[in-house]
Chains A and B, each alone.
Chain A
Amino acid sequence: MGAKDLVDEPELVQLLSPEGRRIDHPRYSLDIGPDALRGLYRDMVLTRRFDAEAVTLQRQGELGLWASLLGQEAAQIGSGRATRPDDYVFPCYREHGVAWTRGVDPLKLLGMFRGVNHGGWDPNENNFHLYTIVIGPPLLHAAGYAMGVLADGADTAVLSYFGDGASSQGDVAEAFTFASVHNAPVVFFCQNNQWAISTPTERQTRVPIHRRAAGWGFPGVRVDGNDVLACLAVTRDALERARSGQGPMLIEALTYRMGAHATSDDPTRYREDAERREWEAKDPILRLERHLTQEGHADDAFYAEVAEEGERLARRIREGVRAMPDPDSAAMFRHVYADGHELVEEEQKRFADYQASFEEGN
C-alpha cells in the first residue's frame, strides 16, 4: 500500500500541464512574460547540460563521484528563481540547479566531487550555503538562521532543501519544531524524487510528506515538481509569507530522480525502467518547450542558441575541471581553527619536514 492510498489527496498545484498547456490555479496565479519563460527554459537546459558533463567527467575519472539532478530541473530552477538575493539558501548535495539560480559558478560545485576541497565556494557571496553530505543537519541550520533573521527584524526569507529520505531524520522533525515555535521565516522545500538511493518513499512515510506540516501547525502544500511555473509560484508565495511574518511553510515537490543516486549507484538493481519511462513523459524541460513553441514564444533559432550556449558551458566546465590543481599537502592543516592551534601547527611542521626529507633524497 502506497502513501497515496491512505488519504484523500488534494490536487497538486500545477500551472503547466505535461502537454505544455497553462492551467489556472485559484490561489497560485503567475503573471509571467515570454522573456522570463525563456529565461527559465535556458536555466533548465544549461543546468541539465552542465549536469550531464559532470557525469561524463566522472566516467573519465576527472571526478570521484557525481550526484546527478537529472529530472529535477524544474523543482530546483523554479524554487531557486523564487528567491531574492538577500534570501539565504541551504542545499543538501544535489541542488546544482538551485546553485545556478544563486549565481554560484558551476565549476565551483565540482571541487568537492573531484576531491580537491570539501566545498569550494564562499557561502556568504551568494547566500548559498555549502553542500552538506550528512542528511538532516542543514534543516536545523536553516531554522536557526531564520530565527536570527527574525531577531534582526529583517525581511529576508530562508529556503531549506531536503529529500524524501531525509524526511525520516530526527533533525528534520526538530527543525520543524524550532521553526514552528519561533514562527521563523523559513520555507522547507522537499524534493520528493521517489527514491532515497534504493529505498522508495513508501519506506519513509505513510502519509504524503507535505501533510506533516499540519502536525507542527504550519501550512504544507504539494506541487508538481516537474512544473517549473508551479514551483516558482508556490515557492515565491511561501517566501513572501515568511517575509511578512507568517512563519514557516513546507513545500513538497513531486518529481523523479531520472538517473542513478550517484555515479557509484546501479539503479537497475532495485527499480523498474517502466517507472522511469513514465516520468520521462513528464519531463520538465520538454513541458516548457512545448509551451514556448505553442505560444510562439520561441523558435528553432532560440533553441539552437540555448543548446549552443550549453555546449560552451560544458566546454568551460570540462577545461576548468581538468585544470583544477590538486591542493598542496599543507591544505589539510589550514583552516582547522579560526584562531590557530598548537597541535595542528606542530603536526603540519612535522609533516612538512618529513616530506622534505624525501626531496633531500634520504
Chain B
Amino acid sequence: MVSQEMTLAGALNASLRRALEDDPKVRISGEDVGRLGGVFRVTDGLQKDFGETRVSDSPLAESGIVGTAIGLALRGYRPVVEIQFDGFVFPAFNQIVTQLAKMHARSLGKVRLPVVVRIPYGGGIGAIEHHSESPEAYFMHTAGLKVVSPATAEDGYWMLRQAIQSDDPVIFFEPKRRYWDKAPVDTSVAPAPLHKARVVRPGTDATLVTYGPTVRVGLEAAAAAAEDGTSLEVVDLRSLSPLDFGTVRASVEKTGRLVVVHEAPVFVGPGAEIAARVQEQCFYHLEAPVLRVGGFHAPYPPSRLEDDYLPGLDRVLDSVDQVLAY
C-alpha cells in the first residue's frame, strides 16, 4: 500500500494529473483553471505541465464550457470541465439536460459523451450568494446523467479517475468545505467501484445515510451518539445516480431506523427518493418513520445564518433521538 496524506483538493489535482498523463484525449477547461489553477487550486500547475491546449482558461460562459465539451467529446476527446461554483451551473443547465444527458439515447447508442462536469458545491465557507448551494437533485432527476460526490481525499482521487474513464456523462460534485481536509490516499488501488455506496461506520441502532460534505457530520454524530450508548451505522452513498440502494436496504433491514442527511433542500431532495424506496422495499423492517435532515425550502441564506441552515451535528442527533423514540 502506497498511502499518502492529501487534501481533497490535492487528491483531485493528482487525479487530474494522472488522467492527463494516461490519456492524451483528456482535456480540462473552465474559468480560471489554467494560469490561476482554479479558484480552489484543484487544477494547480496542470496548465504549466500539460500546456494551454489541454488545460485551457475558458471564456466566461458556462453554456459554452459544457456545449463545447460536448463537441469535443463528439470528436473523440474526454473533456473534464469545471464550473466555478454550484450557483453558476445554471447557464449550462440547458446543455447538460437537453444535450449531454440525452445524446446517447437519441443516437441509439451510436454517440457516447464521456464528459465530466466538476462542480464545487455546498456551504459552510462563509461565502456570498450562489457560492454555497447544493443543486444535485436537479441532475439526479435527469436520466442519462450519472451523479456522484466524493466525501474524502481517497474517494476524490479515485472517483474522479473512474468518472473520467466512464463513457457516460458524470456530474461530479465536490464538497468545497472539505477541500482542505487531509486524509491518506492509496493511489495504487481503487477502494470501490464508482457507483457503490459504503458503510463508513458500522452500527446497529439506526442508520444515517448521507454523502459529500455531510459524511463527516454523520461520523461526528455517530461518535457523539456512541458516548450515549447509541450505535449508529453511517452510509456514504458516494453515488447519487445510479443509487446503490442495496447497501442502504441492507443497513435499514439491520437497524430498522433511518435518517437521511444532506445539505440540499429536503423538499423533493435526494432524501425523498431514498425514503420512498425504503418504505417500498423495507416496510416490514422499519421501526420508525424515515426522517430527513437538510436544507429548508428557502434560498440558501446569508452566511451569518448558514449554521442554522446546514444540517449540523445537533440537528442530526435530534432526528436520531426522534427515530429512536419509536
Contact = CB atoms under 8 A, between A and B. Distances in A.
B301 A331 contact: yes
Interface in B253-293: 267
A341 B298 CA distance: 11
A171 B304 CA distance: 31
Interface string A153-167: 000000000000111
Nearest to A205: B59
B60 A135 contact: yes
Contacts of A196: 31, 60
Interface string A208-243: 000000000000000000000000000000000000
Contacts of B242: none
Interface residues of B, number: 39
Interface in A312-362: 326-327, 329, 331-333, 336, 341, 343-344, 347-348, 351, 354, 357-358
B296 A112 contact: no
A163 B125 CA distance: 26
Contacts of A169: 60-61, 91
B71 to A, nearest CB: 16
A118 B129 contact: yes
Contact of A197 (B39, B88, B130): B39
B24 interface: no
A64 B297 contact: no
B302 A203 contact: no
Interface string B127-141: 111110000000000
A118 B32 CA distance: 25
A339 B63 CA distance: 33
Interface string A262-275: 00110001100000
Contacts, number: 120
A327 B37 CA distance: 36
Interface string A100-123: 000000000001111111100000
B129 A336 contact: no
Contact of A332 (B129, B130, B301): B301
Contacts of B35: 198, 269-270
Given A117-B302, A134-B87, A166-B60, A332 B128 contact: no
A112 B128 contact: yes
Contacts of A115: 126, 128, 302-304
Contacts of B57: 198-199, 203
Question: Which of B34, B64, B128 has the most chain A CB atoms inside 10 A of its CB?
Answer: B128
A327 B305 contact: yes
Given A168-B64, A198-B32, A269-B35, A332 B88 contact: no
A118 B302 contact: yes
B49 interface: no
Contacts of B308: 329, 332, 351
A201 to B, nearest CB: 10
A333 B298 contact: yes
A343 B297 contact: yes
B60 A199 contact: yes
Contacts of B191: none
Interface in A241-280: 264-265, 269-270
B128 A204 contact: no
Contact of A168 (B61, B297, B305, B315): B61
Most buried by B among A112, A203, A326: A203
A65 interface: yes
A327 B91 contact: no
A170 interface: yes
A136 B298 contact: no
A133 interface: yes
A199 B299 CA distance: 30
B88 A134 contact: yes
A199 B126 contact: no
Contacts of B61: 168-170
Contacts of A165: 59-60
A135 to B, nearest CB: 6
A116 B60 CA distance: 28
Contacts of B21: none
A357 B304 CA distance: 21
B103 interface: no
A114 B36 contact: no
Interface string A21-46: 00000000000000000000000000
Q: Point out which of B39, B60, B299 has the most chain A C-beta atoms below 10 A from its C-beta.
A: B60
Contact of A171 (B37, B91, B309): B91
Contacts of A204: 59-60
Contacts of A336: 297-299
B5 interface: no
A133 B314 CA distance: 32
B23 interface: no
A215 B320 CA distance: 61
A204 B304 CA distance: 35
A329 to B, nearest CB: 5
A341 B304 contact: no
A169 B130 CA distance: 17
Interface in A165-203: 165-171, 196-199, 203
Contact of B296 (A134, A197, A270, A347): A347
Given A169-B61, A326-B304, A198 B296 contact: no
A112 B301 CA distance: 11
B63 A343 contact: no
Nearest to A135: B60
A347 B91 CA distance: 30
B91 A344 contact: no
Contacts of B63: 170
Nearest to B94: A170
Contact of B127 (A64, A198, A327, A333): A64
B9 to A, nearest CB: 15
Contacts of A351: 296, 308
Task: Enumerate the 5 nearest inter-chain pairs by beta-carbon distance, A residue then B residue, closest first.
Answer: A115-B303, A198-B36, A168-B59, A332-B301, A165-B60
7 contacts: A64-B126, A118-B299, A198-B34, A198-B35, A270-B36, A329-B308, A343-B267
Given A203-B58, A332-B302, A336-B297, 12 more contacts: A64-B128, A112-B302, A133-B131, A165-B59, A168-B61, A198-B35, A198-B36, A199-B59, A326-B305, A327-B302, A329-B305, A332-B296
